[in-house]
Amino acid sequence: MTEYIGNGRGRIGLDALGIVPRNDVHWNLIVPALYEQATLNGEGKIASGGPLVVNTGVHTGRSPRDKFVVKERSSQDDVDWGAVNQAFTAEQFDALHNLVAAHLADKKLYVEDVFAGADQRYQMHVRVVSEFAWHALFVRNLFVRPSQSDLPDFAPQFTILAAPTFEADPARDGTRSKTFVILDFAKRMILIGGTWYAGEMKKSIFTVLNYVLPLQGVLPMHCSANVGDNGDAALFFGLSGTGKTTLSADSTRGLIGDDEHGWSDNGIFNFEGGCYAKVIKLSQSSEPEIYAASNRFGTVLENVLLNDETRRVNFDDQSLTENTRAAYPLTYIPNSVPTGVGPHPRNIVMLTADAFGVLPPISKLTKEQAAYHFLSGYTAKVAGTEKGVTEPQATFSTCFGAPFLVHKAQVYADLLVRKMAKHNVNCWLVNTGWTGGPYGVGRRMRIAYTRDMVRAALDGALDHVTYHPDGVFGLSMPDFVPGVPDDVLLPRNTWKDPLAYDSKAQELLSRFESNYAHLLKYGVPEVAGGG
C-alpha cells in the first residue's frame, strides 16, 4: 500500500503526471530525513564533518548530445534548432513519458517542490520527482526553498521526472543512446533517464529559463554575481571550471549566486538557492568559504573519494573524475545575500580558461569588444565537465552558455548590449587559464593574482592606471595592478620563447575569426571594432 510521507504534500498529486505509485512517496522531506533515506537505500555515505558522499556512476558530467527538445506548435518558431536543440516529436515524448511513469510507479519516490528564481515576479514553481533520496537533497540545496506555508497549495509550473535507473532503447524511443534529457515546453515537463548525474536536473531548468525569460525582456545568464558594500554589483560569465564560483565567493563582497542569474529592468536575481562548486584540489587556504561549506552536514559531495576508515574526504583524488562537485545551500557561504537579488551591475567580468596561454590575464573591453567576446564565448572545456572531456579543450561557447541557449544567440546578445549601454557597465576579460605556455607546457594562472586583478577592477583601482594595446587581439592591458608582478600582466613576457608565443597567438586569433565567420552565417551581425 502506498504511503505519503513527509511535509506539505501538494494538492496536485502524481496522478497528474501519469504516475500511480505502488510504493512509498516521500514529499519535501527535511535534510536529516533525506540523509536517513539515502543511507538506508545505500545511495551514499556520511563523511567526517557531515557531508553526504555519493557516486554518480558512469556519467560524471552532463551528456549534451543526449538532450532533445520537443518540436511543437507553441514554441517551434522560437527555438534555434540544431545540434544543441535537437528535435524530438510529441508522439515520441508521450510514449517515453508513459514508460518512465510506469518505471517510477514501482519505485520508492522522492518529491521536492521548489522555486527557480529569487525574484518573485519571474519565479517558476518546479516539482522534481526522483527515485533517489540524494537527488531530492541536491534539488533542495540548489533551488530556492519554499516556506512550509507555501507547500500545501504548491502548483508546479514545470516538472522533472528523473528516472536514473531507467534506460531508453534508441530503436524504440528515438533517443541517441540509453541516456536522455528531453524538454517539452508545451507540456511543461522534462524527462531524464539513464544518468545519475544530478547536474542534468539543474541545467535542464536553466534551459527552460533561457527559453521563457527572454520573451519577458529578461536576460538569463550563465554567470555568478556578487555585490560590494556600496552596492556595486558584478557579474562573472564563464563556463564550468573557469572560476565563476571561486572568484564570486569573495569574503569582502556579498555573494548573490554562483552560476545562474537573470537581469531584468529591476536589477539582477539568482535563479538558484545554492551552489554547485567544483572541488577538485579544493584547499582550505585558497578557498576557505567553499572548503568550509563542502565539509558541512547537508552538503552533497559528488564523486569525491572517501576513506572508509577515517571517513575523511580526499579532494585531491581525481580517480573517478576531475569534475568532483559539492552542492550546498547558498546560506553556507557566510557573506551570501539572503534575498538572492541585487542592483544593476557596475562591472562584468568575462572569464576564459585560455588553453593556448596567450590571452592577457586581464584586459578592459570596449562595448563592441564585450559584444564580440560574449558572442564568441571562448574558453577551454575543463576535464570532466562533459562526458569524454579528459583534458582542457579550446572551445567557443556562444554567450558562455551555448548548451543551454534555446533562442538564437543574437536574442541574448541584444539584451546584453542594451542593458550594458543603459546602465553604463564596465566589462573585463580575465584569463584564468594558462600562462608561460599552452596547456602541457605553461601553468595555470595563480588564483591569488586573479583575485587581486578582479578586486582592482571592481574597486576602481584600474580606473587610474595606463593601458597599452595587445599586439594581436587589440585588447587594452593595464600596465599596473596592485599586488601583481608587472611581467605577469604581459603574456608574451611569460614565455621562454617569444616567437613561440607569437605563433600560438596567431593560431588562436585564426580560431576566433573562423568561429565568428561561422556565427555570421547564422545571422549574427558583425561587431565593428569588436574582434
Which sequence positions are flagged as catalytic? 62, 203, 222, 240, 244-245, 259, 325
Return the DSSP state at 448. Answer: H
33: exposed, middle or buried (C-beta count within 10 Å: 0-12, 13-18, 19+)? middle
Q: Provide the pairing of β-strand 4-6 with 25-27.
A: parallel
Question: In whole angstroms, how far apart are CA 393 and each of 238, 259, 267, 512?
Answer: 15, 21, 34, 15
Q: How far is CA 363 from CA 427, 469, 491, in A?
A: 9, 9, 11
User: What is the number of other CB atoms lying within 10 angstroms of the CB of residue 258?
Assistant: 27
Q: Which amino acid is at 122?
A: Y
SS3 of 48-96: the string is CCCCEEECCCCCCCECHHHEEEECCCCCCCCCCECCCEEEECHHHHHHH
Angstrom distance (rounded) from CA 476 to CA 469: 5
The grid coordinates of residue 352 equal: 576564459
SS in 3 state form for 230-265? CCCEEEEECCCCCCHHHHHCCCCCEEEECCEEEEEC
